[in-house]
Amino acid sequence: MTTPQRSWSEAIAACFQGRVITMLFLGFSAGLPLLLIFSSLSLWLREAGVARSTVTFFSWAALGYSFKFVWAPLVDRLPLPILTNLLGRRRAWLFLSQLSIMGALLFMASNDPLDSLTLVAVGAVLLGFSSATQDIVIDAYRIEAADETLQALMSSSYIAGYRIGMLFSGAGALWLASWFGSGHEAYNYSAWSQTYMIMAAAMLIGLGTTLFVREPEAQASAHKYETLDYLRFLGLFVVATTVFALSFIAANTWVDSFAGLLSSVVDKLVASFVAETSRLLVSLAAALIAARIMVRLHIVSPGMVDETYVTPFRDFFDRFGKVALFILLLVGTYRISDIVMGAVANVFYDDMGYTKEQIASITKTFGLFMTIAGGFLGGLMAIRYGVLRSLWIGAFLAAASNVLFALLAVSEPHTWMLAGVIAADNLSGGLASAAFVAYLSGLTNRTFTAMQYAVFSSLMTLMPKLLAGYSGSMVDAVGYPAFFIGSAVIGIPVLFLVTHVGKKMPHAPSQR
């Protein structure tokens, strides 16, 4: 079954449906925390005198987005005391995650990175975890609240709201920090603290929307479980997470030794990346072994684990067969160019001599309108011409626009040049994102909404964010022009993947 194409007038009229507009506000709630982990936090840390290489390592605080499939089943299965009865399954988790985001922002606001860098890092990790949980619920809500004919525009509206949220936490945070008295020459912790408190208050928009919207129609699950089963299932998650964290910390000395050994054979940066990736894989293996032991000992119901974790994967491979591996590879690399480049973007603007006011007004405010325009253009194109064709165009433009940043890096800081580059980059990024979200929504079976979409969206950012953590070190090694050109080149294989998947699946998948 494929999504029927519709006329331009029908596509435009669909933009004003209530469910589409609701996604604008939920998108704002989802987009607001992101830059408070990335670019806004980067400028805060830079003004506090934190080294550039350390600043970009903070992008790893958002790795919760890339591993959210691990606890997505909890969101799908675990009822929350009182809240689930009052609000329903989706809205209860949405409400809890939004409260957690507010708490993490207030915690970060209460710690100065000059004196408590570790605590700021802890707050950033909590913010990433809470925000990723909110994304799990919003993605599931978006797919369940409307049929497949509206998914492209639901995605576009979500992206528009997401970008407005990013504008508020990006440009808005920079303006507020500057207005409260912090600058590159005169760092003021109080200014950034007040800024993050205001960001926490802005999450009330998300809370209000959660209380206003209706709970989507519940999808029937295969089995109903007792409260004790859910608690044991939660215990499985806690144990596995603890084992992962302890293994990750314990492997620190081993990683340094391994990286030192590799550096005698390959480049130091490559050695460090390989060593850290190995550390991550070893920690994941330890967590899986711990979980497996709990299942074998029947501490957790094997049937519940199979139904929650195994069945969604089995369903995906049953539906797509051999092409499933190419789809997953496409999902895991589609956004690699813009994520790797984006981790260092604000630091780049600052190093090039642009002021916070220029960064805020051009890259955030003006860029927002370009992204929204690109998002709705991508949504309309997906409805009018199909998702796969829009995917290819978006991937090409997203990679090509990175080359423009290389030109910006060898030029004097002119406002008009920055505006032109931002216009091209954000327009192409918005188009690509809308088509990609619609494509991922089509891959999802509604019986396993939260789990399957969480896997797709986690895979979408895992490798790009791992690479992004080294972007500052890459710039130190090769300079900005070569870095931006390299970030464009790594997007070329994506074009071949879209083409290959398009030949195997000439029509975008539909939901069931």
Residue 332 in this model has a pLDDT that exceeds 80:
yes
When pLDDT is averaged across residues 475-504 and rounded to a whole number, the result is 85
Confidence of residue 418 (pLDDT cuts 50, 70, 90): confident
Residue 220 DSSP class: P
Q: What is the mean pLDDT of residues 351-360?
A: 77
Q: Is the pLDDT of residue 16 over 70?
A: no
Q: What is the pLDDT of residue 133?
A: 93
Tokens (6 digits) for 27: 């998108």
What is the secondary structure of 454-507 as a DSSP string? HHHHHHHHHHHHHHHTTHHHHHHHH-HHHHHHHHHHTTHHHHHHHHHHHHH-SS
As a whole number of angstroms, the longest Cα–Cα distance in the chain is: 65
User: What digits encode the pLDDT tens for the residues 228-250?
Assistant: 777 787 788 788 878 887 887 77
Is pLDDT above 50 for 222? no
Q: pLDDT at residue 506 above 80?
A: no
Task: Please give the pLDDT value at position 254.
Answer: 67
pLDDT the model gives residue 118? 87
d(CA 339, CA 413): 23
Highest mean pLDDT among 102-111, 206-215, 372-381: 102-111
- Predicted pLDDT at 110: 96
Beta strands in 260-374 (DSSP E): none
CA distance 26 to 207: 9
Q: What domains appear along the chain, each with residue ranges and CATH number? A: 8-225+301-504 (1.20.1250.20), 226-300 (no CATH)
CA 486 – CA 223 distance, rounded (Å): 50
163 near 31, Cβ under 8 Å? yes
- Is pLDDT above 70 for 404? yes
The pLDDT value recorded for residue 440 is 82
Under a CB-based contact definition with an 8 Å cutoff, are residues 340 and 462 in contact? no
CA distance 482 to 488: 10
Among 47-56, 135-144, 468-477, which range has the highest average pLDDT?
135-144
* Residue 254 vs residues 61, 63, 246, 276: alpha-carbon distances, Å: 22, 22, 14, 10
pTM of the shown model: 0.72
Instruction: Name the residue with tokens 């003004």.
Output: 47
Residue with the larger pLDDT of the pair 370 and 145:
370
